[in-house]
Amino acid sequence: MRRLILLLAFLFLVPSPARAQNLELSLSPAVITFPSSDPDTVPLVSAAPVQVTYRIRSNGNSPWSLTVLAAGDLVAGASRVDISNVTWVATPAPPFQNGTLSKTVAQRVASGNGNVNPNTLGSITFRLANSWTYNTGSYTQTVLFTLSAP
């Protein structure tokens, strides 16, 4: 009997399971393409806008943020284009903000407080600073978007 009481006491003392925030994030398209252009006529090459769909539930009044981190520079064989040459323009602002890609520090794309429900859209247009110094090639890199509610 004593053991049963101890077990029940333990169960009541243990914190009830935390209710995790429910976060949803999707990107469309997931492939962002910069077409080749003459640097004199198109100094800033724009890709088609990326539609961000996100939803945040069970977040109370806590903050949330959407960040982006590049896995490295744009790479084509031995050639590289520093990822800081890629910037973005995002709407609506707020909660979205413009920025510059980094391969070392996740950059904030959007932020706010509380819940975002139902699904909400944002738009991100990535732009590549065009230059005569780039080597020819087909460059690629992966970027990671993270929606978090700390």
Partner 1 sequence: MAAGRVPAAQTSNATLNAAINSVARLSLSSAALTFPDADPDTVPSIQASQGPITVTAKARTSPNGTVTLTIRAGDQLRSGLNTIPEANITWVATGGGFSNGTLSATTAQAVATWTGSGVHTGTQTFFFRNLWSYATGTYTLTMTYTLSAA
User: Which residue from 20, 61, 105, 118 is in contact with partner 1, where contact means CB under 8 A?
Assistant: 20
- Residue whose CB is less far from partner 1, 5 or 40: 40
User: Which residue from 6, 9, 36, 93 is in contact with partner 1, where contact means CB under 8 A?
Assistant: 36
As a whole number of angstroms, the distance between CA 135 and CA 11 comes to 65
Question: Can you say how many angstroms the Cα of residue 46 is from the centroid of all Cα atoms in its chain?
Answer: 18
Could you tell me which stretch among 1-9, 89-97, 108-116, 128-136 binds partner 1 (CB under 8 A)? 128-136
Cα-based distances in Å from 15 to 3, 5, 57 = 20, 17, 21
Could you tell me which stretch among 2-10, 15-23, 90-98, 109-117 binds partner 1 (CB under 8 A)? 15-23
Can you give the length of the chain in residues? 150
138 part of the interface to partner 1, by CB under 8 A? yes
As a whole number of angstroms, the distance between CA 19 and CA 108 comes to 25
User: Which residue from 4, 5, 78, 105 is in contact with partner 1, where contact means CB under 8 A?
Assistant: 78
User: Which residue from 4, 10, 17, 61 is in contact with partner 1, where contact means CB under 8 A?
Assistant: 17
88 part of the interface to partner 1, by CB under 8 A? no
As a whole number of angstroms, the distance between CA 84 and CA 148 comes to 23
- Is there a contact between 7 and 85 (Cβ–Cβ < 8 Å)? no
